[in-house]
Amino acid sequence: MTHTLLPGLGAIDLERFVRLGACSDGRFAEGRDGVRLVLAPADRRVEFIVFEDRTLAYVRSALGYPAYYPVHPVALERPVRAVLMDLDGTTVRSEPFWVLMIERATGSLLGDPSFRLDESDLPFVSGFSVSEHLEHCIRKYCPDRSVEDARRCYFEHTHREMREILEGRGRQDAFVPAPGLKPFLLALKREGIRIGVVTSGLHEKAWPELVAAFRAMDLGDPRAFYDAIVTAGFPVRPGEAGTLGELSPKPHPWLYAEAARVGLGIPFDQRHRVVGIEDSGAGVCAIRLAGFTAFGMAGGTIEASGARPLCQHYCASFDEVLAILHGSV
């Protein structure tokens, strides 16, 4: 396996990336204006434009609002000051439930309650915003419908299910802590490492998940335990005020940057003492674009998305993560 050192990205096995030749918006192309390479993971949600001395990341958008970001070099410096963790799949095992909600929303649009997603859809309905998940389903299964139609159906289903869960009548197995989560969180606490949870999910989705998981672990109120909780906020609805979140989810860096800089007060020049833990390709990209070391967790969509080369470490358990944070492996 041959690795090539690329600015900002580090040592990368080029064979594990897709060679694009040109950025999908046509702005950059290899051999023009100093561009050496244009690469992307398999899912092509982020395109990397490599120059001799720097790399840019082009984050595509299913909703028509892409963006360019600089790719900063990352390093792991000890002692680690903060660990930022994804919610769905990493902290809480919840993906089957949210996939079910996407399926129900799509089924409502199709008039087919038995509708189920194909396995090839899974990388596109994990790790992004609700609107992007639904946009994928509309484009593939019901192109005559709108994102607004889909969001209306989605929230009808989720509000009903989440109300039942919070009141103790819903699916008791919908949100369960990831294996080994409790001892991992308590170990970080004992060592004085600050902990944040970061999700592209809307607050009304994320909060019942955290409550259910902490109830199962007997750890009390998540707000009292975490040092920062950052979600995608509140949806824009007719007659109600919404917050920014649907257009700036992972793989954009803003949720992770907000958690570290605003939530924990850690300045950018201390970013090498912050690590992010993710199980999705979009999340790994978000961590890297925020300038932090990325720990990938096995079992999610990292491999399928092609983002594993962007992980500084790829772990099968929280015990393995803790050993690396301690420098013992």
Higher per-residue confidence, 262 vs 64: 262
> pTM for the full model?
0.87
List, for residues 7-17, the tens digit of each pLDDT value. 999 999 999 99
CB-based burial label for 159 (10 Å; 0-12, 13-18, 19+)? exposed
Q: Stretch 217-231: mean pLDDT, rounded? A: 97
CATH architecture of the region 82-93+177-326: 3-Layer(aba) Sandwich (3.40)
The confidence score (pLDDT) of residue 1 equals 60
Q: Stretch 77-94: mean pLDDT, rounded? A: 95
Domain-wise residue ranges, the chain: 4-70, 82-93+177-326, 95-166
Contact (Cβ atoms closer than 8 angstroms) between residue 180 and residue 318:
yes
List, for residues 122-180, the tens digit of each pLDDT value. 878 776 778 888 999 999 999 999 999 998 999 899 888 887 777 767 676 788 999 99
The confidence score (pLDDT) of residue 171 equals 72
For residue 117, give the amino acid letter.
L
Lowest mean pLDDT among 69-73, 93-97, 298-302: 93-97
> Using omega within 30 degrees of 0 as the cis cutoff, is the peptide bond preceding 79 cis?
yes
